[in-house]
Structure 1
Amino acid sequence: MKRTTRNALCNLLLLAAGAALLLWVDRTFDRYVVQVLNLIAINTILALSLNLIYGFTGMFSLGHAGFMAVGAYVSSLLILPQAQKQTIYILKPLIWPFSVLQAPFFVAVLLGGLAAALFAILISVPVLRLGGDYLGIATLGFAEIIRVVANNIVPITNGALGLKGIPSYANLWWTYGWCALAVIFIARLVQSNTGNVLKAIRDDEVAAKAMGINVFKYKVISFTVGGFFAGIGGALLASLLTTIDPKMFTFMLTFNVLMIVVAGGLGSITGSVLSGAVITVLLEWLRFVENSVTIGGFTIPGVPGMRMVVFSLALLCIILFRREGIMGMREWSWDMLFRGRTRGGEAR
């Protein structure tokens, strides 16, 4: 059997097994476990999108929260029922055409991603001419501008009150379906000639320019695709939580995604998938450090935000002692699995 045929067949079997597992999980576990599993898929999408920008192209971007906000608001406004829109817009009524627009969930999520991609293109023209820390500061400023604007354009975003009662369409099938699409698309992209160009820009931008590569063009492509999937993640998160407001989309949200990317390995899709699962579960499990604990009659008060302190320390340890993360730049593949089995058979 040819390698490509074998790999395609294995991928189909893996997708079928994943669908069967999702069906079993959805019917067996309680809502909290299902919620955490949904968060794993969404965080993986966000980590993949940032890894494409930072890990594969070498652009230090801190604007992911801004793209997520755009995707979340656009998608939410499209799926909110008109009666709900009239109820929650207390200070000022929702302006036309948002007051009458309605779309199916898939279309709303897709348009949220496209809106984020459009913003990525608009800001990439002035911002991507910068590099290093300056690029990070500029993209961080963009995310903060989006948050402040969302807080003040009340006729569209409802200001600080946010949007409530967003239909909860984001289930395991939607989140993992989009996650699978993100993995497949970004994997095919980085394995293509375009992906090789992006890695060349990451490794040595000056040498890439000397070889005749249009560095700015490929940076815009990477930034736009990353912004698109960040918008998709924001749209899914809004439907999963059923409520959003500008306070959600602070730098801390970008930091969480960056933590997943660094822990998994810059330039590794496999690392982002593994780290997305591990860190999401640990973030939920560590909530106990924020609750009060009684030991032998003594009560130790909980400290709000302590789990993020723990994770910040963990990220510091990763940077100091294992900078390459879980996978480094390595990837898992079917070729690796079958090659290992073949060698094992020859050894026997």
Structure 2
Amino acid sequence: MMDAHRQNRLRALTTPVVLIAILLIFVLIVTATGDKSLARMAAQTLIRVIFVVGLWIFVGNSGVVSFGHAGFMAIGAYCSAWLTLRPQMKGMFLPDLPPWLASAEWPHLPATVVSGVLAALIALFVGAAILRLSGIAASIATFAFLAIVNTVYSNWEGVTGATSSVVGLDRYADEWVTLAWASVAVFVATLHANSASGLALRATREDEVAAAASGVNMYRHRLLSLVISGFFTGVSGVLLGHSLGVLNPNSFYLGITFITLAMLVVGGIGSLSGAVIGVLVLSVLIEGLVRFERGVDIGGASFALPSGAQEILIGIIMILVLIIRPSGLTGGRELRLPVLGWRVRHSKQEPQSTN
């Protein structure tokens, strides 16, 4: 019979099964309604899941809060536009692209992977400098990176369209495509968190001095997690562009930065389950409040929230959650299959055989 340590590791690997099942149920419920606006909401919720899971791979394991991940999202989104837009559209909106890129028209999957890889390479380059810092200094440096990306993409008119929107992207990123990528992100995040590098990184999060004294190379493990994180946030940018069909640099700036960080904190920054649950809970709340702002008929009477009430109520809800549960909705714990947990508990209670 397996020892308790190995069984605990197997239990940890059931977390993605539980989370993917929750996401699948969410999609099936939305699909059953037949509401196209809900289907679009589901797709964008799953894109946020990919983003927040990517963010958690770095922030949750390292303890360094990053304000710059929306920059990787923008890099992935625009790279996909360069690779997949029809040449005629690129000639109209992006006239300064090099000829080999202006004529490119890649299939969606290779373009998504390459865009994610480009974001990961930028993360490697940026992380090589930023991750020599720690604490608030590293967080401020990530914000500086976001500001640089936004400034470049908002002014590079012939290549990114600047502040004018780039339109014409194929809107193929529906709830099923985004579910597939969210499942991959959750699975990879679990593998990384339970790898030797992930465990060493969490040791540095708890006590940098003790980890360094034990021979843990904090810089190397943080850099690896940032590269993996950059790939999935880049992919989320690709999918957002191909969900909306339009790109604008402001879509990848402060708004999405703070709402995704809020989702991570509300769900519980200490666990992957918290990252996923936080996105689902706040996304459903936001959708409900948006509909109430538009007006809802109840019993023949129409009720509507004042314009702007959504942001105020979401802020109040987040404050209340953090006051009542400072460690987030999941309390920093992972969701796991109870059957394997039962086996672990009872394996420890088995009486020793007597001869």
Q: Does residue 66 in structure 1 map to residue 71 in structure 2?
A: yes
1:235-273 Cα shifts (integer Å, max 9, x gaps): 111100111111112212111110111011112111112
Choose 209-218 or 21-30, whichever is displaced more. 21-30
**1:303 and 2:307 aligned:** yes
One-letter code of the match for 2:53? L
**Deviation above 4 Å: which 4+ runs of structure 1?**
1-28, 288-294, 297-301, 340-344
* Residue from 20, 32, 35 that aligns with 2:37: 32
* 1:17-54 CA distance string (max 9 Å, x none): 97798578547522111111112211111111111211
Q: How does 1:311-326 map to 2 (within 5 A)?
A: 311-326=314-329
* Equivalent AA in structure 2 for residue 106 of structure 1: L
Query: 1:197 and 2:173 equivalent?
Result: no
1:134 partner amino acid: A
State the Cα RMSD in Å.
3.4
Alignment TM-score, normalising by the size of structure 2: 0.85
Cα shift at 1:230: 0.6
**Alignment partners' CA distance in 1, 2:179 and 2:70:** 21
The equivalent residue for 1:132 is 135
Is the contact made by 2:53 and 2:186 (CA closer than 8 Å) also made in structure 1? yes
Say whether the 8 Å CA contact 1:265–1:272 is kept in structure 2: yes
AA at the equivalent of 1:276: V
* Worse-matched range after superposition: 203-212 or 77-86: 77-86
- Aligned letter for 1:319? L
Map of 1:229 onto structure 2: 232
The 2-side partners of 1:287 and 1:18 are apart by 22
Q: Does 1:100 align with 2:103?
A: yes
1:113 maps to what in 2? Answer: 116
**Counterpart Cα distance in 1 of 2:220 and 2:344:** 42
Provide structure 1 residue ranges, at least 5 long, that are not aligned to the other structure: none
SS, match of residue 48 in structure 1: helix
Correspondence 1:65-214 to 2 at 5 A: 65-89=70-94, 92-214=95-217
Q: Does 1:265 align with 2:234?
A: no
Q: The residue matched to 2:133 in structure 1 has which SS?
A: coil
| TM-score, structure 1 as length reference | 0.86
Give the stretch that moved more between structures: 229-238 or 126-135. 126-135
Q: Deviation per CA, 1:57-94, whole angstroms, max 9, x where unpaired?
A: 111111011111011111122111112223434xx454
Structure 1 residue 9, shift from structure 2 partner: 10
**Other-structure match for 2:353:** none
SS in 2 for 1:278: helix
Unaligned 5+ segments in structure 2 are 350-355
Which whole-Å CA distance do the structure 2 matches of 1:282 and 1:160 have between them?
A: 30
